[in-house]
Amino acid sequence: DNNKSRVMILVEPYIPDGVATVRQVEDLSKRTFAIQQIAQTLVQMLAANIVTIDVQPLISKTTGKVIFIDMTEAQELKPPFTFLAKTLMSSFANEMIALLPPDDKSMSTATLAAKQEIEKL
């Protein structure tokens, strides 16, 4: 293909065994690590007044490490927050939470990780 209008970006760190959902991480300790990172990232981004739509995680099956790719839609929200800004925050939080398996253990892990991250602020 001689189409010169296409652009390819190599993401670092490169994750050769990357998957898009936590459920695809089979090792329980690695899955727990991924869940914790998602919850921590949610808190950190909201604390920085940053939100995005179309959250796209890349999760290593072997390590559980999570990176978020394609942050082109990310934006900084400025207080005082408008109704639209609050709606964007809520949508972002819902997208992040939807990445988690809906079982009680996963939600408890995420809640504890988020609580610990909030305490660091």
- Residues with Cβ within 8 Å of 16's Cβ and at least 6 positions away in sequence, in order, are none
- How many residues are given for the chain? 121
Give residue-wise pLDDT tens across range 51-91: 999 999 999 999 999 999 888 899 999 999 999 999 999 99
% of the chain with per-residue pLDDT over 70: 92
Phi, psi of 64 (to 5 degrees): 80, 0
**Percent residues over pLDDT 90 in the chain:** 82
Note the pTM of the prediction, 2 decimals. 0.89
- pLDDT bracket for residue 13 (50, 70, 90): confident
CA dist 19 and 39 (Å) reads 18
Beta-sheet pairing, 75-76 with 50-51: antiparallel
Residue 98 has pLDDT above 60, yes or no: yes
